Structure 1
Amino acid sequence: MNMFSRSIAKSCQVAIQRTFTSSVVRRSIVKIQDQEDFNKLVINSKEPVVVDFFATWCGPCKMLQPRIESIIGEQNGAVSLVKVDIDENAEIAMEYGVSVVPELIAMRGGKVLSKIVGLQDEDKLRQFVAKLIDQTTVQKETN
């Protein structure tokens, strides 16, 4: 294989790797459709989940969305983001006492570990997600 062929092969390999990586990250962000979805992806999840309660009409929710999605994407699958539209799933929002959006709830195994309400800067969001991952790591080590 000549130098040109190796260069093309390496470029293709990198492109495939990036495509695969971005699709894996993308799968960790899901919008809930109904209670059954919520039960399957949040309540029954053994892995940590950040639940983003939002509304399509909410300006701060729209500003928070790219921040939290980016931070979750940085975690390479260590934590998932589940988005719950409070207008489409009012029962779920009421069950968790959500009265103001945006609200993020950190959960694992159906248990609420922490909450954060309102628009947050990236540093605070990173700390919130890191704390969830740390709590999950400690729980796994003690079991």
Structure 2
Amino acid sequence: MPYTPTFTPETLTRADVDAARGPQVLEFGTNWCGWCRGAQPHIEAAFAAAGADVPHVKVEDGPGRRLGRSFGVKLWPTLVFMKDGQEVHRLVRPQGQQEIEQALRQLGG
């Protein structure tokens, strides 16, 4: 599953994420967030350039959203790079494609 364009309401629990095997990227934000929209070209290009075959899960975040709170998300977008249920890297408000690509490559994507 490559780049995902739209944030969706929580469909995963923290237990689901912790039990997941292999790499995945959780992106916390909202569809209306200016910072999130501004980062999308960089995120999409990084997934394409890295040849990432890593699940990209866009989690709609906000007050009372448990998954975002369990990761301590405070600013959007926040990308959490996971491998076998463990966080291995985090980018908050990424500024460019290269830092995202580097994190994807380190993840093995």
Instruction: For 1:112, give the aligned amino acid.
Output: E
TM-score normalised according to structure 2 size: 0.77
Partners in 1 of 2:23 and 2:77 — Cα distance? 19
The aligned residue for residue 34 of structure 1 is 10
1:107 aligns with 2:87: no
The aligned residue for residue 43 of structure 2 is 68
Superposed CA RMSD: 2.6
Deviation of the 1:119 alpha carbon: 3.2
Identity across the alignment (%):
25
Give the helix-richer structure, 1 or 2: 1
Deviation of the 1:32 alpha carbon: 5.0
Instruction: For 2:34, give the aligned amino acid.
Output: G
Deviation of the 1:81 alpha carbon: 0.9
Partners in 2 of 1:39 and 1:99 — Cα distance? 21
**Alpha carbons 1:32, 1:38 under 8 Å: kept:** no
For 1:44, which of 2, 5, 19 is the aligned residue? 19
TM-score normalised according to structure 1 size: 0.61
Partners in 1 of 2:14 and 2:41 — Cα distance? 22
Matches within 5 A, 1:1-143: 27-29=1-3, 32-36=8-12, 39-40=15-16, 42-74=17-49, 75-77=51-53, 79-87=54-62, 90-133=65-108
Q: Cα–Cα, structure 1 residues 35 and 88, in superposed 2: closer, same or farther, change >3 Å?
A: farther
Higher Cα Rg, which structure:
1
Q: SS at 1:131's partner residue?
A: helix
